[in-house]
Amino acid sequence: MDSNPNSRKKFFRGEGEIGDVISQAKNLLAESEGLSLDLQKLSETTVEFATLVEEAKYKIGIRERLGQNVDAFKKKIGDLTATWKETRKAELTKKEAEILERADALERERADFEGRMEGVEEEQRQKLSSELESLRVVQEQVQSELGELSATKATIEDILSESEDEVRDKTLSVEEVEFLKVNYFNLVHSRIKQGLKSPITGEHHYGNWEMKEGDGRLSATIKTGVKRRVAIRFDLRFIPSEDVDGFIYKKIGLDSLEEITGYLADKKDKDAYHALILVSPTGWTNGVSQRAAALFDNQTSVYLVDLMGRTITFNNGDKKTAEMQEWFSPVSLEEEVNEVKARLQKEAAEERTSQFRADKVVSQYGVPRKIVVATFKAMEKEGSGSIIDRSEGAKDLIFLVGGE
Amino acid sequence: MGLVSGIKKALSDSKNKSVDKANDIMGRVVPGYNYHKREVRLSTDASVRDKLSRETAKSRRLLKEIGELAYKEGLREEIEHIKDATSTLEMLGMELDTAEYGNSPFFKEEGVGFNDVRSMIEFDASLFDGMEVLTEACDLLYKGVLDGKTSDFILQVRKIKKNTDNLRNRFMDRRDFLLRLS
């Protein structure tokens, strides 16, 4: 007979302790929770890594493609510049010689007339005098033609004096244009969140913007009242010039005026403020810029943005247009602050300026006051000096270089 | 641990955000969990009780299996203790299934205070955690029996019963909380 009664049992043999099942269960659950968190983190990291790899592959692809294109384009620009130098310059020189010859001939003719006039009767003298007058008009025309020609020559000389690298810097690949566009639209997008005061009615509108974006256009609208009339509307239109072999370098010319006149002619809600912002990656010709700078409309402001030159052109004499320009400036607040900061630091180092007054900096550098104030604060924060405000007796906000 | 720690962390945030976060966490256990919206409060409570009841059934099934093994080996004392634990679990299951407090203003009124919602979420989280521990403990007990490690069997069954009693008490507190609101 078996001495151990447990040996006959299949399950309840008593061969040891189970242990505290409750504590074990708690530990097991805590461990599984930790494991699931680890797995979650691992999965997130894997996704991040995959995105990085994809981005890197994409960037390498673009760089390779750009490298090939830039080399081909560099050669093309070089050829074009050489052709330009040879043919166009020769043509102009030839034309200039012809005009000069013509001017000489006219001068000789005039001298001849004057000589002949001395020995003739009164009647003939009057006849000759009218001929001489017409000769003088022709001569003036030739002189003005000569003036225009020399101006054109000077412009061409400027272009020719640019090195191939400079010309290449002014050209953008389609990818670079797309990048500039996305960057600028994002910048404006980030600004169109806050509320604003209508420059027409003075009414303050809170930031309930309705936005539509696509196909190189962005429109942002604030509507008001029961009838949902437009109170504020911004229309951004991206206009790249035609590309040549995947590169864009031409400035936008007078063709864009149609876009502006069409926009101005559109029917608008009463008291609504509209802003048309035409955006070019490569800039605007002088003709368009001059017209935009002189444009005035009761309800509308027009801005021309040059993304490569990082400038904005508008009618500075129109109060509402000047007030609203900061919404569309291609330079972000941080960049403007950094630029002013660099200028002030340079001035402080070179001219040993010990203090800057806000109003003087505004007029000296032509930047908005808020940028100057933001720069002072940034410089104070990084320990370059301290600010003295009006409450401490200053005439205006003063930044004391290295002061306490 | 588990849901309770997650919920505590979530509820330490600002009011609205914290409830949203807590709803997200609880939503992983009970889809559509939300006491914030009046129209889904009652259905959220029903889903919570349903889920807890299913967990109870799991533990009950495991204890029943162990009880059958004990019966086959003629272990009267062990069977008595298993019966005790099983009946406590049955009572908890019944309470979960038949709870009637739909008249509580918590389910009827439009605006319920943040603190009330918070208390309900905390109750639910602790019940889910406790129930999960209980199921896991019953599973470990079953494994112990299969391995022949039964020297402290009765002690562990009592612990399971005690844990079930704690959960019943917790559920009672939840019910009292809802009725007290009226």
pTM, rounded to two decimals:
0.43
CB-CB under 8 Å, B151 with A14: yes
**What is the distance in angstroms between the CA of the first residue and the CA of the last residue of chain B?**
32
Query: Which residue(s) pair with A62 in the sheet?
Result: none
**Confidence at B59, pLDDT banded by 50, 70, 90:** very high
* The pLDDT value given to residue A157: 62
C-alpha closest to that of B82 among B62, B54, B108, B63: B63
* Higher-pLDDT residue of A82, B33: B33
Q: Which domain holds residue B168?
A: 2-181
Say if A202 is an interface residue toward chain B (CB within 8 Å). no
Instruction: Flag whether pLDDT at B143 surpasses 70.
Output: yes
Q: CB of B131 within 8 A of CB of B52?
A: yes
Mutate to test the interface with B, among A4, A9, A17, A21 (most CBs of B within 10 A): A21
Please answer whether residues B42 and B102 qualify as being in contact, where contact means their C-beta atoms are separated by less than 8 angstroms: yes
How far apart, in whole angstroms, are the C-alpha atoms of residue B31 and residue B44? Answer: 9
Per-residue pLDDT of chain A (404 residues; tens, 9 = 90+): 444 555 577 889 888 898 999 999 988 888 877 766 666 666 666 666 566 655 555 555 555 655 666 566 666 666 766 666 677 667 777 777 777 787 788 778 777 777 776 666 666 767 767 777 777 777 777 777 777 667 666 665 665 565 555 655 666 777 778 888 888 888 888 888 777 888 888 888 877 888 888 888 888 898 888 778 888 999 999 988 876 666 677 778 877 888 888 888 888 888 889 999 999 988 888 888 888 888 888 889 999 999 888 889 999 888 889 888 888 888 877 888 888 888 888 888 888 888 888 888 888 887 778 788 888 888 888 888 888 887 777 778 888 887 54
8 Å CB contact between A255 and A240:
no
Q: How many CB atoms lie within 10 A of CB A292?
A: 22
Specify whether domain A172-330 bears CATH 3.40.50. no
pLDDT value of position A2? 47
ipTM value for the complex: 0.88
- Tell me the average pLDDT of chain B: 88
* Number of domains into which chain B is organized: 1
The CATH architecture assigned to A334-401 reads Orthogonal Bundle (1.10)
Across the interface, of A14, A18, A29, the residue whose CB is closest to B133 is A29
Q: How far is A37 from chain B (nearest CA, A)?
A: 11
Question: Any bridge partners for residue A300, and if so which?
Answer: A274
Q: Is A31 on the interface with B (CB under 8 A)?
A: no
**Chain B touched by A206 (CB under 8 Å):** no
Burial (CB count <10 Å: 0-12, 13-18, 19+), residue A191: middle
* Domain locations in chain A as residue ranges: 20-169, 172-330, 334-401
The pLDDT value given to residue B179: 82
| B23 and B34 Cβ atoms separated by less than 8 Å | yes
Cβ-nearest to A21 among B70, B75, B159: B159
Euclidean distance between CA atoms B60 and A262, whole angstroms: 79
**Minimal CA separation from B91 to chain A, in Å:** 20
Region of A192 (left: φ > 0; alpha: ψ -120 to 50; beta: rest) is beta
